[in-house]
């Protein structure tokens, strides 16, 4: 099935083309990027890497299209998003297979989570568009919210479809036109998404896609004077580079960057429920989520009990071929990430943290592929590298605390502030702790994911918000008209 997806894209001429002004056109450059199956380390496809010239053509098309798309009716934009939503669901299995192939997601996880939640972003953008008050009044002043303009969207490899829809949906709903640069490491689902946009009847120039790397395409998009806004999801390092490139043209920059999220287990928490759920959340998507709660903060007197429950939870994971329905966790997505995880596990051991499970190397039954052993450290000091740096892999640090005040201090003792979790039976106490944590989202007692909850970071985790109404408003400018009522 996986080779069939690549052959489908290849036979349609997608792999060596970019999508500009409603058409698939050959990239201006000669460079290619090899897509690697992380479960086998074997190449599965080659895609064309776009150039600054491709970016210029895409931005010009988006600028032309903005004239009419920005003043189109909300009904017409909602209908377009309806069609996009329906096509994603109709082609859900294609997307799931592509995501499993390009970044190693277990097929069950791709089917149950990666694709459905991506579709939800389109649905919510459509619903918000239908009810959003683009014109309001404040006394004699009219407040208009208008599309900001041409938006450059830069998306990562770890949630390749989910992050695309989280940006494209609200941008189009707002009346913006877009140029998308997906990660060159997981581009297959992005090409399938461009097909969806075309088949949904997107007007020429409203949506454009240019594959490419950061130094060439990302930099050209960030610096282009006709791009009004850049939205990037990626590492903090990449976010800084984008902001620097965007600064001379004073464009808006929205950044969803790194994280080192705490999971504060309060003294009254039900450990039998809180700890397994915390382990599952930390290792979701093989730990490759910027908001993964990879620091579990626990009362010192309950540390041994937490270790025992955490070990039992991790022992239930099935690491292996991502195409197998029995697999819960596939490989990490690429060699660079595999090397990073192995390096950080070695650092944790050298720092004196205690291994509860896992450790360096692949699981014993696997001799190739970017597979990592689900690793839990305990007796972690808050200043250890494994407690401060984003690892972006299946590594959890358990940190003991002596008081709730100390737990809050440890939770906030990081340059990041993207997500956080709090567990406790006393909801009033849990809410009080949540209010003290400096992060863009806090989850109390592992609630269900909500596409309406705004998502974004404090500190070096970025700025701006995605999802929900706030995600739509990122793509809007505010205009005040005085004398509107006379």
Please report, for the chain, the start and end positions of each structural domain, with discontinuous segments joined by +.
2-257+461-481, 262-449
**For residue 88, what are its two tokens?**
């994603």
- Which CATH number describes the domain made up of 262-449? 3.40.309.10
Torsion of CA 267, 269, 275, 278, to 10 degrees: -100
| For residue 3, pLDDT beyond 80 | no
The domain defined by 2-257+461-481 folds into: Aldehyde Dehydrogenase; Chain A, domain 1 (3.40.605)
pLDDT tier for residue 2 given thresholds of 50, 70 and 90: low
Nearest Cα to 95, choosing from 117, 127, 123, 121? 117
- Of 29 and 471, the one with more pLDDT: 471
Order of strands across the sheet that contains 135-138 = 135-138, 141-147, 476-482
Torsion of CA 414, 416, 418, 419, to 10 degrees: -20
Q: What does the DSSP assignment read for 202-252?
A: PPTTTEEE----IIIIIHHHHH-TT--EEEEES-HHHHHHHHHHHGGGT-E
Q: What pLDDT sits at residue 486? A: 76
Q: Is 357 a catalytic residue?
A: no
Q: Is 372 a catalytic residue?
A: no
DSSP state for residue 455 in the 8-state scheme? B
Q: What pLDDT sits at residue 485? A: 83
Query: Contact, 178 vs 62, CB < 8 A?
Result: yes
The whole-number average pLDDT for the span 154-182 is 98
Contacts of 222 (CB under 8 A, 6+ apart): 152, 154, 230, 241, 242, 245, 246
What proportion of the chain, given as a percentage, has pLDDT over 70?
Answer: 100
Signed CA dihedral, 406, 289, 465, 246: sign only: positive
| For residue 1, pLDDT beyond 70 | no
**For residue 425, what are its two tokens?**
């039976």
The whole-number average pLDDT for the span 175-192 is 98
What is the C-alpha separation between 80 and 132, in angstroms, rounded? 17
* Cα 165-167-170 angle, rounded to 5 deg: 95
Nearest Cα to 485, choosing from 243, 135, 233, 236? 135
Q: What digits encode the pLDDT tens for the residues 454-486?
A: 999 999 999 999 999 999 999 999 999 999 987
What is the C-alpha separation between 164 and 367, in angstroms, rounded? 33
What proportion of the chain, given as a percentage, has pLDDT over 90?
Answer: 98
The whole-number average pLDDT for the span 180-188 is 97
| For residue 304, pLDDT beyond 50 | yes
DSSP state for residue 363 in the 8-state scheme? -
Q: What digits encode the pLDDT tens for the residues 402-442?
A: 999 999 999 999 999 999 999 999 999 999 999 999 999 99
The H helix count followed by the E strand count for the chain is 17, 20
Residue of 290, 307, 390, 473 marked catalytic:
290
Query: Contact, 166 vs 193, CB < 8 A?
Result: no
Rounded to the nearest integer, the mean pLDDT of the chain is 97
| For residue 277, pLDDT beyond 60 | yes
Answer yes or no: same fold for 2-257+461-481 and 262-449: no
| For residue 18, pLDDT beyond 70 | yes
What is the C-alpha separation between 118 and 157, in angstroms, rounded? 14
Residue of 102, 195, 256, 474 marked catalytic:
256
The whole-number average pLDDT for the span 35-61 is 97
DSSP state for residue 291 in the 8-state scheme? T
**Residue 287 backbone dihedrals phi, psi, to 5 degrees:** 75, 5
First to last CA, the chain: 66
H helix intervals, 70-187: 74-90, 92-103, 107-109, 115-131, 162-174
């Amino acid at each position: 099935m996986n080779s069939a997806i690549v052959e489908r894209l290849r036979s349609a001429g997608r792999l060596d083309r970019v999508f500009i002004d409603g058409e698939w056109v050959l990239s201006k450059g000669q460079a290619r990027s090899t897509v690697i199956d992380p479960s086998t380390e074997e190449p599965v496809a080659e895609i064309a890497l776009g150039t600054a010239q491709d970016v210029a053509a895409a931005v010009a098309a988006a600028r032309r299209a903005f004239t009419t798309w920005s003043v189109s009716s909300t009904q017409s934009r909602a209908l377009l998003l309806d069609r996009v939503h329906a096509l994603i669901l109709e082609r859900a299995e294609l997307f799931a297979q592509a995501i499993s192939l390009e970044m190693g997601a277990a097929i069950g996880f791709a089917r149950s989570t990666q694709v459905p939640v991506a579709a939800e972003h389109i649905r919510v953008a459509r619903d918000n568009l239908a009810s959003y008050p683009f014109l309001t009044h404040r006394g004699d002043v009219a407040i208009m919210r208008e599309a900001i303009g041409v938006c450059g969207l830069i998306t990562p490899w770890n949630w390749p479809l989910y992050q695309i829809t989280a940006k494209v949906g609200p941008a189009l709903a707002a009346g913006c036109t877009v140029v998308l640069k997906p990660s060159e490491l997981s581009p297959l689902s992005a090409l399938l998404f461009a097909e969806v946009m075309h088949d949904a009847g997107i007007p020429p120039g409203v949506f454009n896609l240019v594959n490419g790397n950061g130094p060439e395409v990302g930099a050209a998009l960030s610096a282009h004077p006709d791009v009004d806004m850049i939205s990037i999801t990626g590492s903090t390092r990449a976010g800084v580079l984008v902001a620097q490139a965007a600064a001379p043209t004073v464009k808006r920059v929205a950044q969803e960057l790194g994280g080192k999220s705490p999971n504060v287990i309060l003294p009254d928490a039900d450990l039998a429920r809180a700890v397994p759920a915390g382990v599952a959340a930390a290792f979701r998507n093989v730990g490759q989520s910027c908001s993964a709660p990879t620091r579990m903060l626990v009362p010192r007197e309950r540390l041994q009990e937490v270790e025992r429950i955490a070990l039992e939870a991790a022992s239930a994971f099935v690491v292996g071929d991502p195409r197998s329905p029995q697999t819960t966790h596939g490989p990490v997505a690429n060699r660079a990430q595999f090397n990073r995880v192995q390096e950080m596990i070695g650092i944790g051991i050298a720092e004196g943290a205690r291994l509860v499970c896992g450790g360096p190397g692949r699981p014993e039954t696997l001799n190739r592929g970017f597979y990592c052993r689900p690793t839990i450290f305990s007796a972690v000091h808050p200043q250890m590298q494994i407690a401060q740096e984003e690892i972006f892999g299946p590594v959890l640090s358990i940190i003991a605390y002596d008081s709730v005040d100390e737990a809050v201090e440890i939770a906030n003792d990081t340059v990041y502030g993207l997500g956080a979790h709090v567990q406790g039976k006393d909801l009033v106490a849990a809410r009080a702790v949540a209010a003290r944590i400096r992060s863009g989202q806090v989850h109390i007692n592992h609630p269900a994911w909500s596409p309406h909850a705004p998502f974004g970071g404090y500190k070096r985790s970025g700025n701006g918000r995605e999802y929900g109404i706030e995600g739509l408003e990122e793509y809007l400018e505010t205009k005040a008209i005085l004398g509107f009522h006379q």
